[in-house]
Amino acid sequence: MSDKEIVAQTMGGKDIIVEHDRLRPGLYKIMFYPGGELPKELQGHWTSKSKAGDAIKLYLARMHREDEERKTKTEEKRAKQEALDLARKLEEEEKVGPEDVMEFNPKPQRGKPEKVTNG
């Protein structure tokens, strides 16, 4: 097995490697290949490749979860904006004025609701 091993890729396509730390024999470190700043949770040293791999798996799982949450929020925001745009469009097409708005009596009598005009 080589000194460097590509163990995963980020969602952006950057390779994550685990290698022996030449300054600290017996310890492993995680690096982005060909370079880049690691998030705090991947900085430091591990006593085995498998422990370093576990840290990488946790990091990638968190990144995936955060990405899914961002997508969900974006989709919700887009749907809300589409609903508002549709409401505005319908309002403009109908040219609804305050006198056309029907309000319902909170305690209606038997029969149809009353139409109340504002003004």
Domain limits at 19? 4-73
Please list the rounded mean pLDDT of every run of 10 residues in the chain (119 residues): 67 88 90 89 91 92 90 86 82 63 55 57
Q: What pLDDT does 4 receive?
A: 62
Q: How many structural domains compose the chain?
A: 1
User: Which helix (H) or strand (E) segment is 78 a member of?
Assistant: helix 49-94
Is position 67 within any domain? yes
Q: What is the DSSP letter of 108?
A: P
- The answer as to whether 58 is a domain residue is yes
Output the six-digit token pair for 119. 């003004």
3 state DSSP class of 2: coil
**Does residue 110 sit within a domain?**
no
Rounded to two decimals, the pTM is 0.58
Strand partners, 17: 6, 31
Note whether 42 and 58 are within 8 A (CB): no
Would residue 97 count as lying in a domain? no
